[in-house]
């Protein structure tokens, strides 16, 4: 048994032993005790065991149902939540986009215009931010971007430090720009569900876009500068660059130049229409999940589609959806049983909203060192943050968004996130080392935390999300 497992297990079992004694914690009801026991054991398993995160979450949801803390309707009903359907349909749309080769054309259009290293860095960053609207989940975006990186790496093969810089730039921007959209990460959907269950506040696609996109753009481009300055020398950045369409074509099985095919045109129009309808939700009042379902049906239709439905459904991460559903049920149990409220009742009072948010952001930024799954971090942190925010007089929407955005930083170790792992292990291509990640993290962690705090305190109130209620 490794040290981390031993420590986590001792802590969880000690808490469970205290909770099962009726005389302890007199203000805590039976359902709340059971919920905390299950929550502690699940968190311990997520942190210290190699067991699949989804298996743990399903076991926790089942335990809460069998013990009567939540009903079976609550457990199974989470699979029918609109956010789950939104993610399913978004993956179908992403499969249709991937089949057409539009990503290669976009890479030529953006990156082909770069003439200096800094231009290449920021044009690549802009292109990666845009992919958040086309491909849900950071791992899917990383897989889509990998061929583009390989093309750039081959074109710059005589400048090793620039290749290493790009290898680090891709996962960094993919992870930090996910906050731009509601479908950018499964953790966002968990956050929305927890807020709805705990407070009745519903964050739609448009509101998330309004709050998250500016943060994603600013954070991504500042991170790009941090990557550039920490991985290259002045001499590396001095020489010109020139990426041709032919070099990108070598890593694409679809044409990246020339006239568009009918399939590419239809898919581009469909994707643009879906995104516009998502953004115009306040005008037409059609829920984002319904818009996504319409788009998915059209994208997989025999006459107009570019992918067969059964092929598109194979790309859907069903394990992630089950994980989300189970953790949503855990969030319901924490809120309804009073466990979350009890957990934060002992926190010191009289703390200013800014100090409260600072603590939330620092903890959320560092949480990836303990919980590697982004969705698991939100499942553990957001219910507690929302409950604590209500008690501290802080707007729970601002607190939940700040926690979720800060948790997007997970760059310290190669195993901290799937995109970081993917770009760290590319045979035949120079890439970054753990030392490169640590050097970047020393700069990027405080930078992203400070930026999230700035947006929560100064920018989001201007956009309709005040710091206090």
pLDDT digits (tens, 9 = 90+) for 361-371: 998 888 877 77
Neighbours of 56 (CB within 10 A): 22
The confidence band for 425, taking pLDDT boundaries of 50, 70 and 90, is confident
Decide if 133 contacts 275 (C-beta within 8 A). yes
Mean pLDDT of the chain: 81
> 75-89, 164-178, 245-259, 399-413: lowest mean pLDDT where?
245-259
Q: Is the pLDDT of residue 27 over 60?
A: yes
| Closest to 119 in 3D by CA, of 128, 107, 110 | 110
- Tell me how far apart the alpha carbons of residues 199 and 398 are, in angstroms, rounded to a whole number: 12
Decide if 204 contacts 288 (C-beta within 8 A). yes
Q: Is the pLDDT of residue 33 over 60?
A: yes
Handedness of CA 137, 414, 416, 220 (dihedral sign): negative
The confidence band for 1, taking pLDDT boundaries of 50, 70 and 90, is very low
DSSP, residue by residue, 396-464? HHHHHHHHHHHTT---SSTTSSHHHHHHH--TTS----HHHHHHHHHHHHHHHHHHHHHIIIIIGGGGT
Higher pLDDT, residue 110 or 380: 380
Helix, strand, coil percent content, the chain, rounded in steps of 5: 75, 0, 25
The confidence band for 74, taking pLDDT boundaries of 50, 70 and 90, is confident
Mean pLDDT of 313-332: 82
| Closest to 156 in 3D by CA, of 169, 141, 173 | 169
> 105-109, 225-229, 278-282, 429-433: lowest mean pLDDT where?
105-109
Higher pLDDT, residue 84 or 373: 84
Q: Provide the β-strand partners of residue 468.
A: 394
Residues 6+ apart with CB under 8 A from 231: 161, 164, 165, 168, 432, 436, 439, 440
Decide if 365 contacts 409 (C-beta within 8 A). yes
Q: Is the pLDDT of residue 416 over 80?
A: no
- Angle made by CA atoms 375, 380, 383, in degrees to the nearest 5: 110
Highest-pLDDT range among 38-47, 289-298, 444-453: 444-453
- Angle made by CA atoms 153, 156, 159, in degrees to the nearest 5: 115
- Tell me how far apart the alpha carbons of residues 60 and 152 are, in angstroms, rounded to a whole number: 45
Handedness of CA 407, 408, 412, 418 (dihedral sign): positive
The confidence band for 6, taking pLDDT boundaries of 50, 70 and 90, is low
Higher pLDDT, residue 52 or 462: 462
Decide if 314 contacts 176 (C-beta within 8 A). no
Phi–psi pair at 314, nearest 5 degrees? -70, -20
Q: Is the pLDDT of residue 253 over 70?
A: no
Decide if 56 contacts 153 (C-beta within 8 A). no
Q: Is the pLDDT of residue 189 over 70?
A: yes
Highest-pLDDT range among 104-108, 138-142, 293-297, 307-311: 293-297
Decide if 414 contacts 373 (C-beta within 8 A). no
- Tell me how far apart the alpha carbons of residues 389 and 360 are, in angstroms, rounded to a whole number: 10
Highest-pLDDT range among 5-19, 219-233, 429-443: 219-233
The confidence band for 220, taking pLDDT boundaries of 50, 70 and 90, is very high
Q: Is the pLDDT of residue 421 over 60?
A: yes
- Tell me how far apart the alpha carbons of residues 469 and 459 are, in angstroms, rounded to a whole number: 16
Token pair 């009745």: residue: 200
Q: Is the pLDDT of residue 237 over 90?
A: no
Mean pLDDT of 432-443: 86
> What's the pLDDT tens digit per position in 163-173?
888 889 998 99
* Three-state DSSP class for residue 468: strand
120's tokens: 């290449």
Q: Is the pLDDT of residue 216 over 80?
A: yes
Decide if 63 contacts 329 (C-beta within 8 A). no
Handedness of CA 190, 191, 194, 200 (dihedral sign): negative
Phi/psi region, residue 204 (left: phi>0; alpha: psi -120 to 50; beta: rest), is beta
Q: Is the pLDDT of residue 35 over 80?
A: yes
> 9-18, 54-63, 89-98, 317-326: lowest mean pLDDT where?
9-18
């Amino acid at each position: 048994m490794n040290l981390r497992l031993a420590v986590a297990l001792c802590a969880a079992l000690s808490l469970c032993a205290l909770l099962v004694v009726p005389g302890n914690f007199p203000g805590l009801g039976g359902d709340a005790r059971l919920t905390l026991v299950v929550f502690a054991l699940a968190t311990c398993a997520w942190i210290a065991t190699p067991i699949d995160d989804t298996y743990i979450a399903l076991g926790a949801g089942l335990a809460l149902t069998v013990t009567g803390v939540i009903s079976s309707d609550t457990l199974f009903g989470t699979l029918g939540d609109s956010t789950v359907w939104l993610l399913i349909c978004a993956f179908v749309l992403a499969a249709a986009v991937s089949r057409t080769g539009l990503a290669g054309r976009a890479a030529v259009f953006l990156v082909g215009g770069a003439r200096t290293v800094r231009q290449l860095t920021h044009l690549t960053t802009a292109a990666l931010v845009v992919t958040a609207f086309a491909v849900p989940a950071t791992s899917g975006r990383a897989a889509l971007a990998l061929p583009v990186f390989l093309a750039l790496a081959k074109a710059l093969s005589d400048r090793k430090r620039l290749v290493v810089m790009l290898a680090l730039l891709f996962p960094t921007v993919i992870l930090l720009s996910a906050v731009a959209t509601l479908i950018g990460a499964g953790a966002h959907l968990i956050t929305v569900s927890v807020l709805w269950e705990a407070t009745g506040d519903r964050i739609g696609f448009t509101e998330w876009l309004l709050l998250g996109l500016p943060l994603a753009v600013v954070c991504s481009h500042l991170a790009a500068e941090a990557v550039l300055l920490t991985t290259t020398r002045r001499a590396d950045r001095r020489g010109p660059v020139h990426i041709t369409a032919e070099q990108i074509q070598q890593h694409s099985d679809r044409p990246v130049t020339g006239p568009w095919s009918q399939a590419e045109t239809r898919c581009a129009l469909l994707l643009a229409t879906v995104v516009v309808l998502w953004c115009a939700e306040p005008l037409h009042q059609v829920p984002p999940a319904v818009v996504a379902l319409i788009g998915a049906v059209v994208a997989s239709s025999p006459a107009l589609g570019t992918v067969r439905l059964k092929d598109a459904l194979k790309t859907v991460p069903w394990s992630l959806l089950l994980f989300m559903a189970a953790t949503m049920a855990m969030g319901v149990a924490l809120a309804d049983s009073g466990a979350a409220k009890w957990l934060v009742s002992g926190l010191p009072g009289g703390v200013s909203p800014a100090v409260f948010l600072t603590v939330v952001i620092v903890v959320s930024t560092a949480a990836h060192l303990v919980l590697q799954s982004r969705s698991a971090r939100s499942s553990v942190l957001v219910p507690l943050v929302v409950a604590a925010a209500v008690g501290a007089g802080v707007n729970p929407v601002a607190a939940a968004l700040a926690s979720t955005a800060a948790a997007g930083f997970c760059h310290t170790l190669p195993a901290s996130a799937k995109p970081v792992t993917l770009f760290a292990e590319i045979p035949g291509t120079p890439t970054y080392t753990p030392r490169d990640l640590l050097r970047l993290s020393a700069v990027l962690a405080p930078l992203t935390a400070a930026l999230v705090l700035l947006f929560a305190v100064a920018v989001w109130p201007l956009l309709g999300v005040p710091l206090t209620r």
